[in-house]
A = this chain, B = another copy of it.
């Protein structure tokens, strides 16, 4: 009975047209052109690498897309158990009429060719969106993205601020900022002006969120720039000013720097600032979110480059020794900013449930990356639905790089959601099916509209 019930709920949830609140889609090339666009997704390259395929074979310069797929297919036999490969099979079935149980060295070429043929259709992007019941897709835009040449009501801009917070000392980032805003940043005041311009630009183009990913030990604090000792202000200015000015200040305050390039000098100062400048800039961005009425998506817990020899985008991991307690002061300081929170580590979910239960401005947001497997999704979903106000739960986002992924990823989520609704609401708590379906639709779609002010 439970299985039939799950199926009925799932079918109802499947009928819903979605807005995907977080992706990495390039709006100028949203859909795939070959199977290599799909299988080149880091989930497949990193798993194939983890199963023994050398990085050099995966990332060989100038590698033909078909050859790349052929190489990855040799390892699929060791990955068939993973939920990620189940997405691949589901995409191939839904979009390319594939009907074998597995992709093997025997059947992949026909699949590749068939996929290429389908993807060559002029309206492939429309076909994918329509078949996936997707009408809106949030992007993740670099701060200097002109946001032009695409329909921003379909592909909704989101200001990604990692570079500003963690890399502004790098000369290239500073140059991009100057170019995007026309402002030569040299201190907190000019930095605030420049960031203000970015926000104005994004909001004018229909941006509906600001976002950032954060390392496990990041601990936001109010900017102390007005009260602290002069030397801290100087350090901050050295972080954000031009390379020339930085060198001048460094040599004035510290030592000769003749033996360092601009980049090395920037790294040197960053390593001594101990994250101080990042905290100041982060806080400034939270202030901008308040001023511009934008939700601030926090994606908490990633360590970058942990596996330095890993494939592209397959090098990051986490350290579970993190706590939302680190963000309590932030949540208190910005009662009017909504913080949709994603946690990388599944064991951080109970804290997220508790913080969203108490803080009006904390919203649970999807199931991020390493937490994005059914084992964790089911538990996390159930606990959120039992203890967080239903208006503050954003069920899912795909995090996809190519449009074809929305279908299998959202289906995985809808299956988990249907299971939780069937077993823990209808059976355990005696809810009617309709009530459970309504709750499911709210977390899948309704809350995306209300939290991000889209419709």
Contacts and interface: CB of A to CB of B under 8 A. Distances in A.
Given A323-B321, A358-B317, A387-B82, A51 B303 contact: no
Given A50-B357, A81-B439, A335-B309, A375 B370 contact: no
Interface stretch (A16-24, A182-190, A324-332): A324-332
Given A319-B325, A320-B350, A325-B306, A78 B390 contact: yes
Interface residue tally on A, bucketed by range: 35 or more
Interface in A326-345: 328, 331-332, 335, 345
B350 A390 contact: no
B318 A325 contact: yes
Contacts of A387: 82-84, 370, 373
A402 interface: no
Contacts of A388: 50, 82
Interface in A47-74: 47, 49-52
Contacts of A386: 81-83, 373-375
A356 B50 contact: yes
A319 B323 contact: yes
Nearest to A54: B360
A355 interface: yes
B320 A351 contact: yes
B428 A80 contact: no
A33 interface: no
Nearest to A306: B328
B335 A325 contact: no
B317 A360 contact: no
Contacts of A328: 306-307, 317
A314 B379 contact: no
A427 B3 CA distance: 8
Given A3-B427, A101-B435, A307 B331 contact: yes
A39 B420 CA distance: 27
What DSSP secondary structure best describes chain A's contact surface? helix
Interface in A20-55: 46-47, 49-52
Nearest to A310: B358
B320 A359 contact: no
A122 interface: no
A391 B357 contact: no
Given A307-B332, A325-B303, A390 B318 contact: no
Given A353-B373, A357-B370, 5 more contacts: A47-B389, A78-B390, A81-B389, A303-B325, A346-B350
Closest 6 CB pairs of A and B: A319-B325, A51-B389, A375-B383, A81-B390, A78-B391, A346-B350
Interface of A: 1, 3, 46-47, 49-52, 75, 78-84, 86, 101, 303, 306-310, 314-315, 317-321, 323-325, 328, 331-332, 335, 345-348, 350-351, 353-360, 370-371, 373-376, 379, 382-383, 385-392, 415, 419, 424, 427-429, 432, 435, 439
27 contacts: A47-B357, A49-B360, A50-B389, A51-B360, A51-B389, A52-B360, A82-B390, A101-B435, A303-B325, A306-B358, A307-B332, A307-B358, A309-B332, A310-B359, A317-B328, A317-B354, A318-B325, A320-B347, A320-B351, A345-B350, A347-B347, A347-B350, A350-B371, A350-B376, A373-B386, A374-B386, A415-B428
